[in-house]
Amino acid sequence: MSLLLIALPPGPPAGYEFATSTDGQALAAHGSAAPALLPAAGRGVEVVALVPAGQLSWQRVTLPRGVGPGAPRLRSVLDGLLEDQLLDDAGALHFALEPGAQGGASAWVAVCDRAWLAAHLNALEGAGRTVHRIVPELPPQDGPLRLWVTGEPERAQLLMSGAGVPGGAQALPFSPGALALLPESAADTPAPELRAEPAVAALAEQAFGGTPAIETAAQRLLHASRGAWDLAQFQFAQGGRARAAKRAGALWRDFLYAPLWRPARWGLALLLLVNLIGLNLLAWRTQDELAARRAANQALLTETFPQVKVVVDAPVQMAREVANLRQATGAASARDLEPMLQAFGQLALVQQAPTAIEFTAGELHLKGVPVAAAVLADANARLRPLGYQLRTEGDAAVLRQEAAP
């Protein structure tokens, strides 16, 4: 499944930065366009919207026991937990709970303006780019401090995440005041991981005294799409089936292209190759056995009946020659009337005589001789070694010779 990644701007719907990827691991294209001019989002394309870090705030809450993702009263519970922590009316805000949150444990809650988010999603849907997943640009995360410097030199932003960052994750204007908010690092802790966009790389190096790793906005957009967060919850949530299909598509894409799954891919390919070789060897061996058996049947036919010069179907020709030999010597064959009457008489199924007998080669109809279904299976078991099969047609018993296997 391909990806269409769209960064939502802080303002009203207008132009959107976008990126595309065919495998979720590498960028295929990126740029900026109006909603109607964004790359097409047809079948097999997952549209992922990114909420900028500056549009989100993060709140830490402790969920009551028995309340978790999917709980019917989750929204009202979050309203009550966050009521005293928010400046705006909770009804005007959109909440999204941390993936994997459990009742009785603490969890992060993402908060953003509901009307702003709905306006962008509606604009994209109206342009035929329905959003399937919503991801945050910078979610809270444990571990060492991570810093990003983004934007242009005159409007640079500092993004920070990691242990000790107030609110879990912060997006601040790049300024001496923002630098003063950085958590102090202990002597034994590693240096912060520093990344910067190309336009502000020199600014980041000057401020932090180290060379930052270069990461473009499109690369950061692709990196954010790989996270477990999905802000499409409550009124923006999709149905369970669509969510499961979306998750399955993401897992399949990761399996096909992610470096982490490379050993598993090689193992699966090797297993399929071994199975393919084994099946071909088995088919080759089976063909050889069938050819040997066919040759043995042909040799038996030509040795027993030298007059047969052309062998087309050895078993059929063998049966025909045996029948001709019996006819020539006057011996009765299993297809004749007398052997079939004798075989039926040995069953002793009925006491009365048949009202009529009809006989064609290999098939005997005895009318007025009904056979109970309860004894039919036992009768066929006794007739099978003789090469016959018995069935009923109304009040008639039909005995016929079985075809040779």
pLDDT reading at 375 higher than 60: yes
Tokens encoding 72:
């019917």
| Nearest CA-CA partner of 203 in 179, 182, 173, 174 | 174
Count of positions (residues) in the chain? 405
Tokens encoding 47:
């549209």
| pLDDT at site 360 | 80
CB 33 within 8 A of CB 18: yes
Percent of the chain scored above 90 by pLDDT? 37
What is the residue-averaged pLDDT of the chain?
85
Average pLDDT over residues 15-42: 91
Looking at the domain assignment, is residue 104 inside a domain? yes
* Site of tokens 């309860």: 374
Say which residues have a Cβ less than 8 Å from residue 207's Cβ, sequence separation at least 6. 149, 174, 179
pLDDT reading at 187 higher than 80: no
| Nearest CA-CA partner of 68 in 91, 99, 46 | 99
Segment 109-165, tens digit of pLDDT: 999 999 999 999 999 999 999 999 999 999 998 888 899 999 999 999 999 998 888
User: Are 41 and 121 members of one domain?
Assistant: yes
CB 20 within 8 A of CB 5: yes
Split into its structural domains, the chain has a count of: 4
Supply the range of the domain harboring residue 151. Answer: 141-212
Question: What letter does residue 231 receive in the DSSP assignment?
Answer: -
pLDDT reading at 240 higher than 50: no
User: Are 121 and 34 members of one domain?
Assistant: yes
| Local structure of 241: helix, strand or coil | helix
Segment 192-229, tens digit of pLDDT: 889 999 999 999 999 888 899 999 999 999 999 988 89
Looking at the domain assignment, is residue 294 inside a domain? yes
349 falls in which pLDDT band (50, 70, 90)?
Answer: low
User: Are 44 and 111 members of one domain?
Assistant: yes
Ramachandran angles phi, psi of 273, nearest 5°: -65, -45
Strands of 106-113's sheet, edge to edge? 57-62, 106-113, 93-97
CB 147 within 8 A of CB 195: yes
Say which residues have a Cβ less than 8 Å from residue 153's Cβ, sequence separation at least 6. 199, 200, 203
**Considering 313, 328, 343, which residue would you say is the last residue of a domain?**
328
Looking at the domain assignment, is residue 218 inside a domain? no
Q: Judging by DSSP bridges, how do beta strands 193-196 and 146-150 pair with one another?
A: parallel
Ramachandran angles phi, psi of 116, nearest 5°: -60, -45
Q: Which range in 8-12, 21-25, 339-343 is most confidently predicted, on average pLDDT?
A: 8-12
Q: Other CB atoms closer than 10 Å to residue 189's CB: what's the count?
A: 13
Identify residue 131 by its one-letter amino acid code.
V
CB 49 within 8 A of CB 135: yes
User: Are 53 and 152 members of one domain?
Assistant: no
**Considering 301, 328, 355, which residue would you say is the last residue of a domain?**
328
Tokens encoding 253:
């894409």
* Site of tokens 């040799």: 299
Q: Other CB atoms closer than 10 Å to residue 383's CB: what's the count?
A: 18
User: Are 98 and 202 members of one domain?
Assistant: no
Q: Other CB atoms closer than 10 Å to residue 69's CB: what's the count?
A: 15
Looking at the domain assignment, is residue 188 inside a domain? yes
Identify residue 332 by its one-letter amino acid code.
A
User: Are 103 and 159 members of one domain?
Assistant: no
CA distances from 385 to 332, 339, 342 (A): 18, 14, 14
| pLDDT at site 403 | 60
Q: Which residue has the higher pLDDT, 370 or 284?
A: 284
3-state secondary structure 37-51: HCCCCCCCEEEEEEE
Tokens encoding 231:
């802000």
User: Are 239 and 293 members of one domain?
Assistant: no
Identify residue 27 by its one-letter amino acid code.
L
Radius of gyration of the chain (CA): 40
User: Are 111 and 249 members of one domain?
Assistant: yes
pLDDT reading at 384 higher than 80: yes
pLDDT reading at 5 higher than 90: yes
Q: In this predicted structure, which of 11-25, 43-57, 314-328 has the lowest mean pLDDT?
A: 314-328
User: Are 106 and 232 members of one domain?
Assistant: yes
Looking at the domain assignment, is residue 217 inside a domain? no
Looking at the domain assignment, is residue 375 inside a domain? yes
Segment 283-311, tens digit of pLDDT: 999 988 888 888 888 888 888 888 887 88
Question: What letter does residue 94 receive in the DSSP assignment?
Answer: E
Looking at the domain assignment, is residue 241 inside a domain? yes
250 falls in which pLDDT band (50, 70, 90)?
Answer: low
Task: Please report which helix (H) or strand (E) contains residue 10, including its range.
Answer: none
CA max distance for the chain: 119
CATH number of the domain that residue 64 is part of: 3.30.420.380
User: Are 130 and 54 members of one domain?
Assistant: yes
User: Are 91 and 233 members of one domain?
Assistant: yes
Looking at the domain assignment, is residue 222 inside a domain? no
Burial of 112 (0-12, 13-18, 19+ CB in 10 A): buried
* pTM for the predicted model, two decimal places: 0.59
User: Are 18 and 73 members of one domain?
Assistant: yes
**Considering 212, 245, 275, which residue would you say is the last residue of a domain?**
212
Identify residue 107 by its one-letter amino acid code.
A
